[in-house]
Amino acid sequence: MFGKRARLWLGLLAAVSLLSLASSCGGPKTEDNTNTGGTSGKAYAAKGDEGTVTGKVSYTGAAPEAKKIDTSADSACTSKNPNLTDENWAVKDGKLANTYVYIKDGTLADGSKIGDWTFETPAAAATIDQDGCHYKPHVLGVMVNQAITIKNSDPTTHNVHFTPKSNPDWNQSQPNGAGPLTHKLARAEVMVPVKCNQHPWMKSYVAVTKHPYFAVTGEDGSYTLKGVPPGKYTVVAWHEGGPNGTEKTMEITVPAKGAATADFSFGATALGQPSSLPMLPAIEFPMLGKH
């Protein structure tokens, strides 16, 4: 009986000393221990040795032409934005806009994983405006729990509908003249399609990450990720083209106070029309004949 109790005390002692060891390993970031949730980690504090990731996203081959959208279902849309075209491929001089580039995974120079850290949610809200019966911007990156302000600048009713897989569905009607709506997504998810239940052509994409290392390419196809801790990362460029979007992946190393480059290319090959495809039947037919 005494032996049992002694063992219990020994076990408790071991647990307590392990706990104190763990907290002392955390160094000065003792306040991080308040993050008891399974998915949260230590708060990242900038060390001054962060670097940048920059790049350009190109479109190879002849750019798909933007198609005019038939908005006749809602005359308010037609009169406000008579020349509305789709934004599936925003290509200009071979450069691709509206591509979401982010750090998907990686290891910091100190050996920790990027996913082990938590980052401060920006106090400022991101904005989606429904203006001319399309979304501005077409692609948006936010952090988890960052407020998204949704405005209706049109003389008609919109119905904004976030259709995530990891976050709850969110579907709100927003009549002409109604004030802005606010929405937040608590879980990281790339990519959340947003649509309008009133106007089937309206679509946009919202990406949610736990860290601030993301950007959307501008008209010149360029992007910059700032304040990236030194380390080795997987950078992904996501574009909506393809059945579920298309991802391009690149491994990079960000040196301390340095810069890494990650250029991506979408286009003919990314769309599943590589020159090798028409050759497949020619190879397979003789083999079939042998059976």
Among 198, 209, 217, 265, binds Cu ion (CB under 5 A): 198
State the number of binding residues for Cu ion (CB under 5 A): 5
Which residues, 6 or more positions from 46, have their beta carbon under 8 angstroms from its beta carbon?
227
Residue numbers 125-164 binding Cu ion by CB under 5 A: 158
Among 185, 196, 260, 270, binds Cu ion (CB under 5 A): 196
User: Taking contact as CB under 5 A, which single stretch among the options 101-109, 138-146, 194-202, 268-276 is the one that binds Cu ion?
Assistant: 194-202
Distance CA 163, CA 195 (A): 8
Smaller CB distance to Cu ion: residue 202 or 236? Answer: 202
Among 199, 203, 210, 239, binds Cu ion (CB under 5 A): 199
> Does residue 65 contact residue 85 with C-beta atoms inside 8 Å?
no
Residue 237 as a binder of Cu ion (CB under 5 A): the answer is no
Q: By Cβ distance, which residue is nearest to Cu ion?
A: 196
Residue numbers 157-176 binding Cu ion by CB under 5 A: 158
Which residues, 6 or more positions from 24, have their beta carbon under 8 angstroms from its beta carbon?
none
Measured from the CB of residue 160, what is the shortest distance to Cu ion in angstroms? Answer: 8
Smaller CB distance to Cu ion: residue 42 or 170? Answer: 170
Distance CA 18, CA 11 (A): 11
User: Taking contact as CB under 5 A, which single stretch among the options 137-145, 176-184, 188-196, 238-246 is the one that binds Cu ion?
Assistant: 188-196
User: Taking contact as CB under 5 A, which single stretch among the options 28-36, 41-49, 86-94, 190-198 is the one that binds Cu ion?
Assistant: 190-198
Measured from the CB of residue 150, what is the shortest distance to Cu ion in angstroms? Answer: 11
Smaller CB distance to Cu ion: residue 196 or 208? Answer: 196
Residues that bind Cu ion (CB under 5 A): 158, 196, 198-199, 202
